[in-house]
A and B are shown apart, each in its own frame.
Chain A
Amino acid sequence: MKDTREQRTVFQYVDLPILLTVMGLMLIGLLSIYAAVYNNEHQSIFDLSQSYGKQILWISGAFLILVIVLGTDYRIFEPASYFFYALTLLLLGLVLVFGREVNGAKAWFEIGGFRLQPAEFAKVATCLSIANYIGNSGLKFNQLKHTLVPVILIAVPLFLIMLQPDTGSALVYFSFIFVMYREGLSINYLLLIAFIGLVSVLALLFDKVLLIAILSGFGAVYVLFSRFKLRAFLSYLPILLIGLFLVITIDFIFNNVLEPHQQDRINVLLGKETDIKGVGYNVHQSKIAIGSGGLWGKGFLEGTQTKLNFVPEQSTDFIFCTIGEEWGFAGSLVLLSLYSILIIRIIKLAELQKWRFARIYGYGVASIIFFHVFINIGMTIGLLPVIGIPLPFISYGGSSMFAFTLLVSIFLRLDNTRKLVLQ
């Protein structure tokens, strides 16, 4: 590029706080995996037959991705986004046919001993294409078409992932709502989603007639206070109708759309079932691990709860409880601080972007990471139902490691450009 200064290495002008936090998280992840699956027979952390040895491979691969992305021409990302998006959609379609079933979900390609989860990469592609679409000037969310296209961009991969089924990965796509909100989507949509969520939970928990009465009552009071204006009545009517629809159909949706194990998990979370041995087992064990870790933890490799295999999936989805048990509240605080630094830094840099594509993409990255962290830790400590979703840069697994690295690397590359241009 002639109008900017030459870059001496790909790492020059790369945002150090982001790079360092990511590396810190990877290191914490590696140590936690080592602690979670530690056994006397394989003490070397470089033992490639064990998860921790493999994780070192994934981390190395991640650095390779970082270097490659940083060395790529930044102009390629915007035009390539739709192509990338189409490719991942194809993969998501193919995985339903040729995928390998693991834990009941057809989410994996298996190629020569390496497993690839296309859903992880689809997030990156969706993020790029949404940034591309919304980033076009002249977009107005008050136009139906302008709202509808991003929604379709989100909905198609979401639908394909739901078919696998992989509820956790699918849920992450809702994070793009926040991106759209940042870019001018009315807050009413967010409120509507919150309203739907609240009514659904209440409808599952409480008497339906009572809820209908309350909803109607609110309407009546609202109309009363607005002095029986037709407009007030008409504006409340859709909300009332949605509410009523939810209350009436929620049982049907719950029983027929959700898988039995998901129903159980939700029941456990809502306190309708207390089943320490069955569905609630994971969460109960995980809570024991974190709770017994105390303030300062039991120390590295001292976590009995994780070492004795009480907690399932402890090197992947439930990795947080290993940290909670061995490093205590202090360790959890450090981990969440790192994530907070990472997310805040990404948002801050996104706000600094002059290029709308880069800014929106940045918001997407922050939202995706935030969603992963919040859902993963929330499920580990029993705030949310158990949904399989990895903790970024920490959980064991090549696909998620590569996908998150790609996600952040592209952002770093875009930000890099900003600095180059500024100077």
Chain B
Amino acid sequence: MSKEPLKPTGKNPMAFGANLYFLFLVLMVAFVMFRVWSLVLFESEKYKEVLSRKLYSDTTVSVLRGTIMSEEGDILATTIPYYDLTLDMTASYLNKKRKNPKDDSLIVRLKAAGLKIDADKANENWLDKLASKFSGKKEKITKTIFQTELEYTAEILAKTLGERNKEEYEKLLTKWYREAQSKGPKPAGYRYRVLKKNVDYKTFEKLRNEGIFCAEKGHISCLNKSERYKPVYPYGNLAMRTIGKIPTEEEHKDKKLFNAQTGIQYSYNSYLAGITGKVKRKRLGKNAYLTLDDENNILPQNGSDVITTLDVNMQDMVENELRKTLTNHRAEFGTAVVMEVATGKIKAMANLGYDTTRSGYFELENYAIRRRFEPGSTLKLASLMAAMEKEGLTPSDRVDIEGGTARVGEMLVRDAGHGKAESNLTIQQIFERSSNVGVAKTVYRLFEQNQNKVSEYLETIRTFGLLNTTGIDLKGEREPKTFSPKDKSWTRNYSLIKLSFGYFFEFTPLQILNFYNTVANNGKQLKPYLVSEVRYLDQTIEKFEPKVINPKICSDKTLKWAHQLMVGVALNGTAKGRDSLEFFYAGKTGTVQLLNYPKDGIPNNPTNSYLFPDGQGGWTNRHQVSFVGYFPKDNPTYSIITLINYPKTPEPTGGGIAVPLFKEIAKKIYAGSLNYQFRALPAPNRVAISNLYHGQQADLALLLKKLKLPYRIQREEEFAKVVTNAGKYYLQGNRVPESAMPDLTGMNLRDALYLLESRGIRPKINGKGRVISQSIGAGSPLKRGMSLQLELSL
């Protein structure tokens, strides 16, 4: 090298620059250190807390909702676990490199998965072909798991989920994948993609081992399932308003969100909802957690089952009859309630209203407890009973009804249906013909005209239980509207008269029914109720017995006469039928002329019943007809109210519309009651199943754990049977074939329903408890719409 390598630069001329540079470096390092120092010194606690929040988390464990059952154990509303399948498109496994082995071609694997494949369609793709042309060796080409598995996965998805065809799934997955991989801005929710909602466990299991979902050891599958529940109403809309709608999952988890206010679902939510678990967990790694023992842990508990007093057959029949009547008379809405006289149990509660959008009658609102109406003639019984109880009136006392029109006090009272101009009638006849004049004159004479005893009248009505709510175990019962001299609008010599034959007061249909039930029950007033028992697994948590509100509302003599009055209505009066019935009933009709109600369409609103802003108040030609009574007359078993609002039939009366409905219901109950007795007989050849349990393996394992019984799992499956051998318990996995009838014996109804639901079978259920026999044997091939009879027993 000619050039002299060592060029002496002599004295350093740039010393100042060097020092400045040096200073700059020192300052920068100091700055960085200061920042780290401040992170550690001032923000350390904050970050430690953030970290502990990330490491230790309180996790809520959602639980299944309880089932609502009929008295006989038929499931009225339940939930079945279902899953939403989601894909984690950022799962690292998708980007893992994989060689594309020759023998692992799509066609071979699809055939292995039991799918019929068109051989030409499933050819190698162009990239493989190109690669093998270049290299001669196909194995050299590496692609990501996603790329190699895409086609196969799409095929499997198309066959399994069937919502799209293979090409569409391929497009969809590629789109999601690209969006998750792109460097630029990503669309919202790019990470977790919902593949399908409401999928059963089986489908999830099936997919988990396929294509891109099947992760190798040490990797996490991109397929996730989030458990949800699917509401199931085996009887459709039956008693929908009484049972209530199954709340959404969010409402189920958080009581505060659930504010439907009606139905058993809401009223018994605390039982049905169960206990949402809360556990402290420590994060160990990606998707790996350790549940810590913590005193604040709340163990999750599934919701309890609620057994109602409802009888499914009766409810079904009542609803059908009510619908028929409503349809025949093109009525606006109606309600029919059947109550067991001796207990107060509601056996059926139907509420149907016309839905203009769906053009038919549906359970729109619980009219029986949510709406109140002027009772009309059905209150006359209470008026006359008060007079008998307090003023010694007897059915044979006579009143001059002055031909059906009379001035009573300051009111001109008219009877409906002016026929014979009779004058001198007994109280019995007055009641049978439902004479307003007769009742008004009697009550006015006894309680206001001669002596001021209005409050005594009102007090007696109160003793009858009419001025209070019934206390039914459904939230949302409407308070009755009362009226007394304390009210401003009370008018002397007028208001009491109108009250006496059923105006000004407003009651819910159930409140009226409850009064008649009390009379039928020999004066013993009961609380009507809908839920008889709360059960968890096979244990009774709480039992609800009939509750007496008032052991005797009046004297036996009054009761006897009241009974006599009502029997007369059926035999000779407004409810007299043209047909002869094999049983006798008793009761009272009611026909109320409706007031013109305001445009918002809600009648009998407490604040505006009598105030009409548009000045169009007054009577309309609309009527509400009702009948309330009980049967058989000598041994009252059921009391029933039927109420039809605004029938379009000309000149509607309770006798013409509500009575036939009542009779139809009573007749069918009576005919059916023989069957009930028959059904109550012990079933022959009952199998002892107490130690043979069959259900979801995880549930059974939990159960055995709770009972501290040692057990071993034999074969992991979704479902398992408990087998005992020499004091040891074995959970024998039971593979449930997809295309054949599963073995349901030993299962509880929910598990059985779950299995049947996914196979499209709707079973007929008899009894309660666990399945002891199934009408189609396990292993039989399935047919769509197959009907299966299940016998259940405790």
User: Which chain A residues have a beta carbon within 8 Å of chain B's beta carbons?
Assistant: 41, 74-75, 78-79, 103-104, 135, 137, 178, 181-184, 187, 259-261, 287-295, 304-305, 307-310, 324, 328-329, 332-333, 336, 339-340, 343-344, 347, 351, 354-357, 359, 363, 366, 370, 374, 377-378, 381, 383, 417, 421
Contacts and interface: CB of A to CB of B under 8 A. Distances in A.
B286 to A, nearest CB: 6
17 contacts: A79-B1, A178-B24, A181-B21, A288-B54, A289-B47, A292-B44, A292-B48, A293-B40, A307-B285, A340-B29, A354-B7, A354-B8, A357-B7, A366-B25, A378-B32, A381-B35, A417-B5
A47 to B, nearest CB: 14
B185 interface: yes
A287 B1 contact: no
Given A308-B285, A308-B286, A355-B7, 4 more contacts: A103-B183, A291-B46, A347-B25, A355-B5
A175 B245 CA distance: 70
A421 B22 CA distance: 27
A182 B40 contact: no
A78 B25 contact: no
B36 A104 contact: no
Contacts of B185: 260
Given A181-B21, A182-B17, A340-B29, A294 B44 contact: yes
A354 B6 CA distance: 7
B674 interface: no
Contacts of B22: 344, 347
A293 B40 CA distance: 7
A104 B182 CA distance: 8
B40 A291 contact: yes
- In this complex, the interface size class of chain B, counting residues with CB under 8 Å from chain A, is 35 or more
Nearest to B92: A309
Contacts of A293: 40, 44
Given A291-B39, A351-B18, A260 B184 contact: yes
Contacts of B17: 181-182, 184
B726 interface: no
B51 A292 contact: yes
The 6 lowest CB-CB distance pairs between A and B, nearest first, are: A291-B47, A104-B183, A329-B40, A292-B47, A292-B48, A288-B47
A121 to B, nearest CB: 24
B786 interface: no
Interface string B1-33: 100011111001010011011101110110011
A288 B55 CA distance: 12
Given A181-B17, A354-B9, A374 B28 contact: yes
Contact of A421 (B6, B44, B54): B6
B44 to A, nearest CB: 5
Given A292-B44, A304-B51, A336-B33, A287 B39 contact: yes
Contacts of B235: none
Contacts of B55: 304, 308
Given A137-B7, A309-B285, A290 B36 contact: yes
Contact of A329 (B36, B54, B184, B218): B36
A32 to B, nearest CB: 16
B542 interface: no
A287 B183 contact: no
Given A181-B17, A343-B25, A374-B28, A294 B184 contact: no
A381 B32 contact: yes
A181 B8 CA distance: 20
A288 B7 contact: no
B582 to A, nearest CB: 75
B43 interface: yes
Q: Which of A288, A291, A328 has the most CB of B within 10 A?
A: A291
Given A178-B21, A182-B21, A356 B36 contact: no
B612 interface: no
